[in-house]
Amino acid sequence: MNLMNFFRRFPNEESCRQDFKNIRDQAGVICKKCDCKDHYWKQDKQVYQCKKCSFRTDIRSGTVIESSKLPFQYWYISMHLLTATTKGISALELQRP
């Protein structure tokens, strides 16, 4: 996928968040409190809630972006740049303004 197609597919933060949620739904979410695998999505809070103990799990929890405050679109752009080029791109290049 070239850069133009990438921005057509993910034009804004919401499209990136929705794609990330779809991937999480396929992979499954495990409750940190009771290890239950049955969850439902709370649209108003944007979190998963365990059906057994009602513990809420953030969409980023348990992923490499768990502690990040960066928007999903920044992460998606970074991942695209890291994987789309033949030589790759360094973290220092990503940091440049």
Domain boundaries, the chain: 3-95
Answer for the pair 79, 44: CB distance below 8 angstroms, yes or no.
Answer: no
Tokens of 21: 């949620």
Residue 97 has a pLDDT of: 74
Mean pLDDT of the chain: 91
Per-residue pLDDT tens for 76-94?
A: 998 998 888 777 778 788 7
Distances (CA, A) of 22 to 26, 59, 85: 6, 10, 25
Residue 96 has a pLDDT of: 79
Specify the DSSP class assigned to residue 86.
S
Residue 44 has a pLDDT of: 92
Residue 47 has a pLDDT of: 94
Q: Which residues of the chain have pLDDT under 70?
A: none
- For the whole model, what pTM was predicted? 0.83
Per-residue pLDDT tens for 47-56?
A: 999 999 999 9
